[in-house]
Amino acid sequence: MMADTVRVAMTLTQNWHKVPGGTATAANRLAAALAATGGVDLIGVVPAGPPPAEPWLPPIPTTPLGLRVPWLYDSWHHLRRPRVSSASGPVDLVHVTIPIAPPRERVPMVASVHDLLPLTMPEMFNRRGVRLMARGLQRIAGEAAMVMVPAEVVRADFVAHGFDPARLRVVPLGVEPRPPADPEASAGALHRHGLEGPYVLFVGTAEPRKGLDVLIDAVQLLDRPGLTLALAGPDGWGDALGPRLDALGDRVRRLGFVPEADLPLLQAGAAVCCLPSRAEGFGLPVLEAMAAGAPVVTIRGTSMQEVAGDAALCVPAGDAGALATALATVLDEPALADELRGRGRERAARYPWSRTAAAVLEVYREVRQ
């Protein structure tokens, strides 16, 4: 082990959630990128219990705590035990990757927090989640040596909610470079998922804040019988879709979880990829869609616009009419769609996971000093 190697215990408990979601994807990819730097001796700390499904298996060695989710979170919330470092053994610091109330550690703690939505949009979460995450954010604000957030717009929210600006660092997420999709592979992926003709693709967990209700209304306003709305991702919670979806009939395809090998092919084949979330901490599907060469429509004034820059069309949150107009613009103007594809690839190339890992490693070393 090199003398300047930092030994870190990283929590990966979200991989064991019923719906792991984007935070698990981000944590796994960050862990893999950090391990590749050679500057970190990384151990994943996970709940007790059987391993998750293959897509959510951590890419680094792991060690379990003595409790399963959700009892582990209840114990952290009420008792502040067990310590993460009790499972990992001696470490230089603990890296918390989900805002569930962490225990107090004997070594410095850093945290990756994507957003403050449990505080700013509590109605978009279930009560238990709000309670656990609100306490977690409070403890992280008071105790973390450094808090990493994924966008400048998120950093501004954190400062407005009392986080110490000196202990905030903006560390955007990343995406792996993607070569142009092979036509034969793309055709096979579309066939496997029952997609024919032009389609609008949404990628994410179906939950209230994702704006699926607005997207469905926008597709209805377009009133194009040959256009399919494809929804890729697991069901979350709440009435994220409701009876609106039934009104689309066979114009909607619910794909469920899409294997990692197929997702870039579906993104590349989409007439447009749309992420209409009312808010996101980062909006990884926007970056991944741009890397795949898809034209993107997303929401103005959010981290998603910050990530996309001029490589996407952006509309106000909750405005189905504006969203329908933006989708129609991309669908009806092939030259614009091609321009957005090119801009998106160029924009995504600025966000490799290696850059994210280097920034996190810099935070580790700053805290360890």
- pLDDT tens digit sequence for 23-82: 999 999 999 999 999 999 999 999 999 999 988 999 999 999 999 999 999 999 999 999
Q: Are residues 256 and 284 in the same domain?
A: yes
- Is residue 33 in a domain? yes
User: What CA–CA distances, in Å, run from 118 to 113, 154, 306?
Assistant: 12, 13, 21
Asked whether residue 133 falls in the same domain as residue 206, the answer is no
Question: Same domain, yes or no, for 188 and 334?
Answer: yes
| pLDDT value, residue 97 | 98
d(CA 364, CA 42): 12
What is the SS3 assignment for 96? strand
222: domain range?
183-348
Global model pTM greater than 0.85:
yes
Q: Are residues 111 and 87 in the same domain?
A: yes
- In a 3-state reduction of DSSP, which class is residue 43? strand
Backbone angles phi, psi at 172, to 5 degrees: -65, 155
Cβ neighbours around 160 below 10 Å, total? 10
C-alpha span between 116 and 168 (Å, rounded): 14
268 by Cβ neighbours in 10 Å (0-12 / 13-18 / 19+) ranks as: buried
- 71, 190: one domain: no
Mean pLDDT (the chain) is: 94
Identify the pLDDT of residue 2: 56
Structurally, the chain folds into a number of domains equal to 2
**Would you say residue 362 lies in a domain?**
yes
Residues 24 and 163 in one domain: yes
Question: Helical H runs in the chain?
Answer: 21-37, 71-78, 85-88, 117-120, 127-143, 152-160, 183-192, 212-222, 243-248, 263-269, 284-291, 303-308, 320-332, 334-348, 353-368
Question: Are 116 and 209 found together in one domain?
Answer: no
Which two three-digit tokens encode residue 24? 């698990």
245 or 91: which carries more pLDDT confidence?
91
Task: Identify the burial level of 89 via C-beta atoms within 10 angstroms of its C-beta, where 0-12 means exposed, 13-18 middle and 19 or more buried.
Answer: exposed
Question: Per the domain annotation, does 13 fall within a domain?
Answer: yes
Question: Does residue 267 sit in the same domain as residue 356?
Answer: no
Q: Where does the pLDDT of residue 311 fall: very low under 50, low under 70, confident under 90, or very high at 90 and above?
A: very high
Q: Are residues 24 and 170 in the same domain?
A: yes
Residue 124: which pLDDT band, with cuts at 50, 70 and 90? confident
Whether 1 maps to a domain, the answer reads no
Please indicate, yes or no, whether residues 201 and 340 belong to a single structural domain of this protein.
yes
Q: What are phi and psi of 190, to 5 degrees?
A: -65, -40
Which positions ≥6 away from 8 have C-beta within 8 Å? 34, 40, 41, 42, 43, 91, 92, 93, 94, 95, 364
Coil, helix or strand for 46? strand
Q: State whether 81 and 209 are in the same domain.
A: no
Same domain, 230 and 334: yes
* Domain assignment of residue 61, yes or no: yes
Residue 291 sits in a domain whose CATH number is 3.40.50.2000
